[in-house]
Amino acid sequence: MTAKKSCPISAAHKRLMDCHAMWHAVADDYMKPENVRMHLNSLIQGMRNVTFMLQKQKSTLPGFEEWYTEFQAAAKSNPLMRWSVNSRNRIVKESDLELLSEAKVRWIGDWVRKQERNFTFPPRMPSQAILATIFSDPGNPQMGVVTISRRWVDKALPDREILSATREVFINLSTLIATAHNAASPEKCGLAAREPACVTSALATEPLACMDINPGWLQEHFDLEAGRGIEEVAYLVEQTPENCRKSQKRYGSAVNIEGNPIEVAPRIMEQAGKTLMRDKKHVPIIWFFRDNVVVDSMVPIFFNQNGKYLTMHRVADRVESLHANGIIFLNEAWYAKDEKLDKDGQIIPPRDRGRDRCEALHVLVATESGKYASLVTPFTRTIFGKIILGESIIDSGTGLDNDGQFNLLRPVIDRWGKE
């Protein structure tokens, strides 16, 4: 192994890494109130210690007065940073934070109608009681799916869930440490990685993929369809690291998927065609972009239509957690060359078209800045199972139209619109 390398600000940098680990400790024990209190107390004190340690070293850090004053001024005008400092003082000198537990309810009818409604219920109200309250109102039909998420907030910061709030403070501190590091030495930091394995010396200035502020296990999903009453859905989205790794490897080596998502899409389609010819099928893949860099990918699993709604809302959660501003969704779909209307004048979806439909690879792209693209490559299978790819139909840089093909990405597009 290489000789031990050092860190020019190891005291402060190690405290920052401690904070990363402690943040995960809060997240991992999120459903245990006493553990949340305990780990959060440590995390908030730990975050304050990062700046204390840095200040102690100021005489050795070039330009300290300049960049540290800048950081302090920004922190003073940032309510979250002020909350963090006040919370630390409170924890050390007075008492614990006043944590409140909330239940947030998201109710999804379908893609278009009432995509999302939020209710807030008192802490510790059982899920069944929450559902009974919602549906005692005859204006709320029992259709679609309901998601209940539990969350902690501090009374002094009632609008922010604690994982999200502390993550943002962490990113600010990490950015400060990155500045200090660069000032002290241009060399890479030599601090070793820790437990859990995501706690490395890397200095993030954007949300880390491991710090998920919308984790799936904080949510319960209920399917309201089919007269079965209210039934809990065990899980609807699975991040399969194995598949992700495979696809990342396949696409990572075959295609350069860094860049503007609209421009990357044709390269993804080209590679997808090759994969399809070889494998005869293609798993759906979603890539999350932040500023033209892929920050995550996932393989969504759809069990049924309600599962699809939930899955795409989970994808929107992930977009929010990652601060992603672009998304590409590759999947297999049904395609029809023309439009046919049913007796009510509605367009018949290709999946219901019978013999005049065909299979297709479909790549959908959306960005937070409002750019959209849709690429379709129809294909057929010979009786020997060989895949014949048709001509690709590319609709790039379009606005959102009404034919519903962007419905799948609706939850993501709506989430962007909300910020």
CA distance 324 to 206: 10
The residue among 80 and 210 lying less far from Zn ion, judged by its C-beta, is 210
**Closer residue to Zn ion, CB minimum distance, 189 or 298:** 189
Nearer to Zn ion, 13 or 308 (CB): 13
Closest CA to 87 of 27, 169, 13: 169
CA–CA gap between residue 368 and residue 319 (Å, rounded) = 10
Q: Which is nearer to Zn ion, 145 or 189 (CB)?
A: 189
What's the N-to-C CA distance of the chain in angstroms?
47
Which residue from 412, 201, 254 is spatially nearest to 325, judged by alpha carbons?
412
Contact status: 412 vs Zn ion (CB under 5 A):
no
Count of alpha carbons within 13 Å of 191, Cβ hemisphere only? 22
Residue 13 Cβ vs Zn ion, minimum distance, rounded to whole Å = 4
Q: How far is the CB of 311 from Zn ion (least distance, A)?
A: 24
Whether a cis peptide bond, with omega within 30° of 0, leads into 207 is no
For Zn ion, the closer CB: 33 or 190: 190
Of 125, 210, 254, 283, the residue at the interface with Zn ion (CB under 5 A) is 210
What phi and psi, each to the nearest 5 degrees, are found at residue 163? -65, -40
Q: How far is the CB of 147 from Zn ion (least distance, A)?
A: 25
Q: Which stretch binds Zn ion (CB under 5 A): 39-47, 80-88, 123-131, 205-213?
A: 205-213
Contact code string over 146-185 relative to Zn ion, x by CB under 5 A? ----------------------------------------
Residues 298 and 286: beta-carbon distance below 8 Å: yes
Size of the site for Zn ion (CB under 5 A): 5
Task: Please report which helix (H) or strand (E) contains residue 159, including its range.
Answer: strand 157-161
* CB closer to Zn ion, 39 vs 106: 39
Q: How far is the CB of 7 from Zn ion (least distance, A)?
A: 3
Tell me which stretch binds Zn ion (CB under 5 A): 60-68, 103-111, 204-212, 299-307: 204-212
Q: How far apart, in whole angstroms, are the C-alpha atoms of residue 49 and residue 349?
A: 58
Any alpha helices (H) in 204-332, and if so which ranges?
241-254, 261-279, 305-322
DSSP conformation class of 337:
S
| Shortest Å, Cβ 70 to Zn ion | 20
CB of 416 to Zn ion, least distance (A): 25
The CB-of-42 to Zn ion minimum distance in angstroms stands at: 16
Task: Indicate the residue among 55 and 380 with the shorter CB distance to Zn ion.
Answer: 55
- Given a contact cutoff of 8 angstroms between Cβ atoms, the answer to whether 408 and 364 are in contact is yes
Enumerate residues 10-49 that contact Zn ion by CB under 5 A. Answer: 13
The only residue of 22, 189, 218, 312 in contact with Zn ion, by rule CB under 5 A: 189
Q: Do 331 and 286 touch, CB atoms closer than 8 A?
A: no
Provide the token pair at 93: 């000198």
- 198 counts as binding Zn ion under rule CB under 5 A: yes
- Binding residues (CB under 5 A) for Zn ion: these are 7, 13, 189, 198, 210
